[in-house]
Chains A and B, each alone.
Chain A
Amino acid sequence: MKDIADIRETLLQRFDTLETKSDILKAPELKVMFNAIKDQSVEERAAFGHAVNQIRVELQAKVASAEAADEVIEPLDVTAPWDVNTGPIALLSTEDGSIHPLMREITVLGDIFERMGFAIEGSREIDDQYHMFESLNFPKGHPARDDYDTFMTVETDKDGEPLIAPAHTSTMQNRMLKKYKANLVADEPIAVVVPDRVFRNEDLDARHEHTFYQVEGVYVAKNVHAGMLIATLKEFLQAYYAKELDVRVNPFYFPFTEPSFEFALSCPFCDKKGCGICGYEGWIELLGCGMIHPNVLKAADIDPTVYTGFAFGCGIDRLVMMKYGIEDVRHFHSGKLDFLRQF
């Protein structure tokens, strides 16, 4: 028992010198004593255990009161330009500042579309199924909904359907068509792109993110045909990569376009010779697109017998990864300064 008293004294002395008072509760002496309880003889065990525990309780109380004392917080003058007894604030070095590569690229491609006459709009992070599916000609229960691993919320809309985290920026298509419908009356096209964040309920790995960026585009006017869609995207990509490119379309299926295409460009990094970026194919499958389905135009009160249009959706993360040779899509949302300060 003499030993216990000595150890207590040692711990109390050490407590006074500690910067982080709670560290005393991790002292090795405490652990040793607790471990020693089971080694005591049966008669002594209870008394020994009690004494050891007493020390811990005492130390816990001291830690708590020390922390409470720390909690006294000095208020500051929120209107002052700097703290008392200091001087003007220096900002960090401009050299260390950076803009996120995805945001930087959205600016670049947004500028191109703006020059081509497109308005730029933002998307939403929580939406109803009407905008994500119904207004885009995916009826309730349609199997094409399975192709979008959509995050759903516990909360529901007025129809009792879960709200969703949009899996494509097309969730804005109906709103954009309605917002710019007046253009058609003035004999101007509806021309809008929506570059923004979308979500898919996927496991993360180097090539798959549940959170990523897409740019959606719509163009509606009289006499718009599928060849114009291909020409417009080709023009955009040539401006983006600042070089001549070949493009091709393959038929695809989307409920909201008819016909629908998968659009590929000749690899701008190897000019179709084959390289690591295009998987030695010479072509890069980049985006989905098509002529807007008449039901989608009708949902926005646009007469599909008078007006036609095209729509496209392109992943932005992949454009950026290819441009800079980024090896892992997870870096984008990692918040790692090692990564961010390179841009």
Chain B
Amino acid sequence: MKVSLNTVKQYTDVDISVDELVTKINAQLGGVEAVIDLGARYEKATIAKIVKCEKHPNADKLSVCEIDAGTGENIQVVCGAPNVREGLFVVWLPPGSTVPASFADKAPFVLEARELRGVVSNGMLASAKELGIGESHDGILEIDPNEWKPSDVEIKPGTSFARAYGLDDTIIDIENKMFTHRPDLFGQLGVAREIAGIQHKQFTSPDWYKKTVEFGSGEGLKLEVRNDTPEIVPRFMAVAIKNVVVKPSPLWLQAELVRLGSKPISNIVDVTNYIMLLTGQPLHAYDYDKVATGVLGARAAKQGETIALLSGKTIQLDESDMVITDGQKSIGLAGVMGGAETEVSADTKNIILECATFDMYTVRKTSMRHGIFTDAVTRYNKGQSPLQNPNVLHLAMQSIVDTAGGEEGSEVVDNKNLSAFEEKYTRPITLNETFINSRLGLTLGHDEIRQLLENVECIVGGETDSTITPPFWRTDLELAEDIVEEVGRLYGFDKLPHTLPRRSIKPAPRNADRVLAQKTRDRLSRAGANEVLTYSFVHENIIKQAGQDSAQASKLSNALSPDLQYYRLSLTPSLLNKVHMNIKAGFDGFAIFERNKVHFKGEMDPDEPNIPHEDEHIGLVIAHDDKQKPSGSPYYHALKYLGQITKLEAAQLVPLASFDLAKDEWGRQLTAPYEPHRSAIIVKDDEIWGVVGEYKRSVKRAFKLPDFTAGFEVHQAIITEPEVVYAPLSKYPGSERDICFQVARSTPYADVVRVAAEAANHETIDCSIQPVDIYQPDVGDTKNITLRLTFTSQQKTLSGDEVTALVKAVTDRVVAELSAVVI
């Protein structure tokens, strides 16, 4: 929101410096994004009178002028404009000044005294375009010294151009976001009121804005308003004005628009724009004679209806759009943009002036859907108050007549349906200083609060001065809490006391998941692994490369790039995607892990059935470059890492190849990248809780993985804090025996350990079993498993015979149950 300090000063005093004002606006109104010193642009631009004008001796199209710029002597300037002539008041840019339009350019154009075809020109006479106040470059800007303007600066040779037309201005650009709930602050008048309020000054709105207006009557042009959707158009005011003359606006008005960041177009359009910039209420002018029926209608668009807009674009509408019609066909997109067909042009003689209020949500929806963002949209979608329309329309009518002539051609039509609005916004709010002070931590008195509010024209009244009636433009003041904000802000939030809340010494609850997550991180990083974070969204290709089915994944409808199209089904594909790049970057061997959420479409949250369930997973991938890989299969390395964060029973590891996933879509997606013969499912209570293993050849190829790559992905619920089961230390030494069993290749190692442990189970003698060696010859179908058994008695030192008997019990059992041979 660009705020002109000069415009603000038309409505309130500002007696602090610009820097102080900006600090105050930041602290009490909204973030200032930029402060532009407009005056610097026009610093040397001076009004001058052409006292003599002759043809250039050496150039047909140039004139040599003598100008009076109030310096006491005439100055010679060469000018190429066709409209240059004696007696004209013009803007002179002296040598050493910068052409205003080029001021913000990388290389601003600085004038000097130089010869043009042998005649010295001291600077130049400027066109509207060079002055940055218009597009016209056909000739130099002509100033009419007798034209009315708001400032009382006299137009004479030597007058500063900027001062005469308010261009000696400072523009303060305040973040729009701050004013989302403040439609009134999208007008200069509203901002001026706030600037008064934060300076603790009384603000008084001008009569034209606040006083009840009386409309005159006009006749000659038929005008009818048909409002089919009063709930979306709570107020629709319109009037016809006849016999106007469309031409450029007076210079002061053009300058006002330029200061406010707008562009002058023609007197009619400029008046509607200027009043919108002042009040926040958009207006629209139609060429009356192009609205053949004399009817303005408001209705929902018809499916498939098209409209050609002022911007030159033709768009297709649907029933969610609101249109303005001529009673039949649409001639404008309500609240967004007017139509091309009824546009005011140089030939326009009669106009209809519209001042309507549209539902903010409908305007926003249409604007978003069609991607059309206009000044009107910015204002309408904040919810402008319909109660200001009569005053705004009244001012607009007067201003049109002032700048374009003509007279009222019809009655003022006021189609209104304000009951819902009035009920919501004009209710008095109870003023209770205890309520206000307790929420701000202040001790303001009643009168202090009253003054702050009255400064911005809230009405404090009632029997005990305890009700606040917000003024009609304040749609944001609805609740007592809104008044708290208002008082705090106007008083100054920087003056709030910094007091910490008091609480009991009850400890805050600990989040067990968080503690476990931190331990998981600690353990894996201590084991040399690196924690990564990867995106929650993946490209469909990543899902497919991992052998997963993208149809099972939730899909984004508005992703900026296909890289972020799907919620990931598991962490593994994202991790695999980070392997090749790190190998290429020169890392020979590494393990990366991530703890994050995964989503499986269609599985809803048991606690909140309306939203998808989310699982927290931990995934890890270990990879070694071909040149440096460790011996053996990578599976066992992945298993070793998994062992760092959870203690698994052997029975929980089931070969993936032997697990039936036919009915388990989720299990299929989780395990899709893993090679069934070289991976294990992690089972708990007959359910799948994870997978550990090597990857399918197709997956390795797709992700360019080195041969030595494996990993795991588990649900966080299997990560548990191991329970400590203490065994008292024995006073007696333990006895070790190594036993080597030859078993079939297909016999799992865990079976051998399990049978041995069962056989060694004894009331008073503990037996620990550790692996020593697993040997498998190249030929044949057997392997040798060597275990170390350590027997320890709590009661005595075991004799050799006792140990031998214990060992025999173990070997007999293993031999019998697993067809093993003791070697």
Please determine whether B368 and A146 come into contact, CB atoms closer than 8 angstroms.
yes
Please determine whether A79 and B650 come into contact, CB atoms closer than 8 angstroms.
yes
Please determine whether A121 and B610 come into contact, CB atoms closer than 8 angstroms.
no
Please determine whether A157 and B610 come into contact, CB atoms closer than 8 angstroms.
yes
Within 8 Å by CB of A77, from B439, B564, B748, lies B748
**B 481-499 to A, binary, CB cutoff 8 A, 1 in contact else 0:** 1101100110001101111
A199 part of interface (Cβ distance < 8 Å)? yes
Within 8 Å by CB of B749, from A80, A117, A234, lies A80
Please determine whether A75 and B529 come into contact, CB atoms closer than 8 angstroms.
no
A residues within 8 Å of B by Cβ?
A: 70-71, 73-87, 89-100, 102-103, 107, 110, 114, 116-122, 124-128, 130, 139-144, 146-147, 151-155, 157-158, 162-163, 165, 187-189, 191, 197, 199, 201-203, 210-211, 219, 221, 223-228, 230-232, 234-235, 248-253, 255, 258-262, 291, 293-294, 304, 308, 332-333, 335-338, 340-341
A245 to chain B, nearest CB (A): 12
Which residues does chain B contribute within 8 Å of A336, judged by CB atoms? 581-582, 585
Please determine whether A141 and B484 come into contact, CB atoms closer than 8 angstroms.
no
B284 to chain A, nearest CB (A): 21
B759 to chain A, nearest CB (A): 18
- Report how far A154 CA is from B567 CA in the complex, Å: 11
B614 part of interface (Cβ distance < 8 Å)? yes
B577 to chain A, nearest CB (A): 8
- Report how far A143 CA is from B555 CA in the complex, Å: 25
- Report how far A126 CA is from B598 CA in the complex, Å: 10
Which residues does chain A contribute within 8 Å of B493, judged by CB atoms? 226, 249-251, 259, 261
Please determine whether B524 and A97 come into contact, CB atoms closer than 8 angstroms.
yes
Please determine whether B529 and A80 come into contact, CB atoms closer than 8 angstroms.
no
Contact segment of B46-54, B632-640, B805-813? B632-640
Q: With A119-B509, A225-B441, A336-B582 given, is the CB distance from A154 to B500 under 8 Å?
A: no
Q: With A92-B589, A259-B484 given, is the CB distance from A248 to B27 under 8 Å?
A: yes
Please determine whether A191 and B508 come into contact, CB atoms closer than 8 angstroms.
yes
Within 8 Å by CB of A124, from B31, B484, B614, lies B614
Please determine whether B531 and A103 come into contact, CB atoms closer than 8 angstroms.
yes
B349 part of interface (Cβ distance < 8 Å)? no
B134 part of interface (Cβ distance < 8 Å)? no
B380 to chain A, nearest CB (A): 10
- Report how far A336 CA is from B558 CA in the complex, Å: 28
Q: Closest A residue to B596 by CB, please name it.
A: A197
Please determine whether B533 and A100 come into contact, CB atoms closer than 8 angstroms.
yes
A99 to chain B, nearest CB (A): 5
Please determine whether A228 and B499 come into contact, CB atoms closer than 8 angstroms.
yes
Please determine whether B612 and A250 come into contact, CB atoms closer than 8 angstroms.
no
Q: Closest A residue to B774 by CB, please name it.
A: A84
B263 part of interface (Cβ distance < 8 Å)? no
B557 to chain A, nearest CB (A): 5
B526 part of interface (Cβ distance < 8 Å)? yes
Contacts A/B (CB < 8 Å), 28 sampled: A86-B636, A92-B527, A96-B530, A98-B525, A99-B525, A117-B507, A124-B597, A126-B599, A146-B364, A151-B559, A152-B556, A165-B536, A187-B504, A188-B504, A191-B503, A201-B559, A210-B560, A225-B439, A226-B493, A227-B441, A250-B26, A252-B177, A252-B178, A259-B493, A335-B578, A336-B581, A340-B530, A340-B531
Which residues does chain A contribute within 8 Å of B558, judged by CB atoms? 151-152, 201
B597 to chain A, nearest CB (A): 5
Which residues does chain A contribute within 8 Å of B181, judged by CB atoms? 144, 253, 255
Please determine whether B501 and A224 come into contact, CB atoms closer than 8 angstroms.
yes
Instruction: Identify the interface centre among A152, A165, A203: most chain B CB within 10 Å of its CB.
Output: A165
- Report how far A158 CA is from B610 CA in the complex, Å: 6
B360 part of interface (Cβ distance < 8 Å)? yes
**B 438-457 to A, binary, CB cutoff 8 A, 1 in contact else 0:** 11110000000000000000
Which residues does chain A contribute within 8 Å of B360, judged by CB atoms? 141, 143
Q: With A199-B536, A332-B533 given, is the CB distance from A163 to B521 under 8 Å?
A: no
- Report how far A22 CA is from B238 CA in the complex, Å: 78
Please determine whether A153 and B555 come into contact, CB atoms closer than 8 angstroms.
yes
Q: Closest B residue to A92 by CB, please name it.
A: B528
Q: Closest B residue to A67 by CB, please name it.
A: B697
Please determine whether A100 and B178 come into contact, CB atoms closer than 8 angstroms.
no
- Report how far A146 CA is from B644 CA in the complex, Å: 46
Which residues does chain B contribute within 8 Å of A224, judged by CB atoms? 501
Which residues does chain B contribute within 8 Å of A94, judged by CB atoms? 526-528
B795 part of interface (Cβ distance < 8 Å)? no
- Report how far A162 CA is from B556 CA in the complex, Å: 9
Going nearest first, the 4 A-B pairs with the smallest beta carbon separation are A92-B528, A83-B632, A79-B750, A141-B361
Q: Closest B residue to A22 by CB, please name it.
A: B701
Please determine whether B531 and A100 come into contact, CB atoms closer than 8 angstroms.
yes
Which residues does chain A contribute within 8 Å of B439, judged by CB atoms? 225-226, 291, 308
- Report how far A49 CA is from B633 CA in the complex, Å: 46
B678 part of interface (Cβ distance < 8 Å)? yes
Within 8 Å by CB of A76, from B27, B611, B633, lies B633
B631 part of interface (Cβ distance < 8 Å)? yes
- Report how far A251 CA is from B485 CA in the complex, Å: 9
Which residues does chain B contribute within 8 Å of A260, judged by CB atoms? 485
**B 588-618 to A, binary, CB cutoff 8 A, 1 in contact else 0:** 0111100011010100000000111010000
**B 515-548 to A, binary, CB cutoff 8 A, 1 in contact else 0:** 0001001101111111111111100000000000
B472 to chain A, nearest CB (A): 21
Which residues does chain A contribute within 8 Å of B494, judged by CB atoms? 248-249
Please determine whether A125 and B536 come into contact, CB atoms closer than 8 angstroms.
yes
- Report how far A143 CA is from B360 CA in the complex, Å: 8
A209 to chain B, nearest CB (A): 10
Please determine whether B655 and A75 come into contact, CB atoms closer than 8 angstroms.
yes
Within 8 Å by CB of A251, from B178, B484, B504, B554, lies B178
B425 part of interface (Cβ distance < 8 Å)? no
B434 to chain A, nearest CB (A): 11
A13 to chain B, nearest CB (A): 25
B769 to chain A, nearest CB (A): 11
- Report how far A86 CA is from B708 CA in the complex, Å: 15
Please determine whether B633 and A83 come into contact, CB atoms closer than 8 angstroms.
yes
Which residues does chain B contribute within 8 Å of A261, judged by CB atoms? 493
B11 part of interface (Cβ distance < 8 Å)? no
A67 to chain B, nearest CB (A): 9
Please determine whether B677 and A75 come into contact, CB atoms closer than 8 angstroms.
yes
> What would 7 more interface pairs be, CB under 8 Å, given A78-B692, A258-B481?
A73-B677, A76-B678, A79-B750, A103-B533, A125-B614, A201-B558, A253-B178
- Report how far A319 CA is from B775 CA in the complex, Å: 54
Please determine whether B499 and A227 come into contact, CB atoms closer than 8 angstroms.
yes
Q: Closest A residue to B754 by CB, please name it.
A: A79
**B 560-598 to A, binary, CB cutoff 8 A, 1 in contact else 0:** 100010010000000001100110010101111000110
Which residues does chain B contribute within 8 Å of A127, judged by CB atoms? 611
Please determine whether B361 and A140 come into contact, CB atoms closer than 8 angstroms.
yes
Please determine whether B501 and A153 come into contact, CB atoms closer than 8 angstroms.
no
Please determine whether A259 and B489 come into contact, CB atoms closer than 8 angstroms.
yes
- Report how far A130 CA is from B591 CA in the complex, Å: 40
Which residues does chain A contribute within 8 Å of B709, judged by CB atoms? none
- Report how far A82 CA is from B697 CA in the complex, Å: 22
- Report how far A80 CA is from B635 CA in the complex, Å: 10
A86 to chain B, nearest CB (A): 4
